[in-house]
Structure 1
Amino acid sequence: MAAEQWFTSSYTRPDGDCVEVALPAGAVWVRDSNHRGEGHMNVTPSAWRAFVRAVSSGRVGVE
Structure 2
Amino acid sequence: MSSASHWHKSSYSGNQTNCVEVGRLTDGAAIRDTKNRNAGHLTTTRTQWTAFITALKTNRSENGP
Structure-2-length-normalised TM-score: 0.66
Residues 55, 61 of structure 2: 8 Å contact kept: yes
The equivalent residue for 1:26 is 27
Match of 1:45 in 2: 46
Superposed CA RMSD = 2.5
Report the counterpart of residue 61 of structure 2 in structure 1. Answer: 60
- Unpaired segments ≥5 residues, structure 1: none
Is 1:11–1:18's contact at 8 Å kept on the other side of the alignment?
A: no
Alignment of 1:2-17 (within 5 A): 5-10=6-11, 12=13, 16=16, 17=18
Report deviation, 1:50.
0.7
1:35 matches 2:36: yes
Question: Whole-Å Cα distance in 1 between the matches of residues 52 and 12 of structure 2?
Answer: 13
State the identity as a percent.
Answer: 34
TM-score where L is the length of structure 1:
0.68
Pick the structure with more helix per residue.
2
| Bigger RCO of structures 1 and 2 (CA < 8 A, at least 6 apart) | 2
Aligned-partner SS, 1:34: helix
Structure 2: which 5+ runs fail to align?
none
Q: Alignment partner of 2:26: what SS? A: coil
Aligned-residue offset at 1:10: 4.6
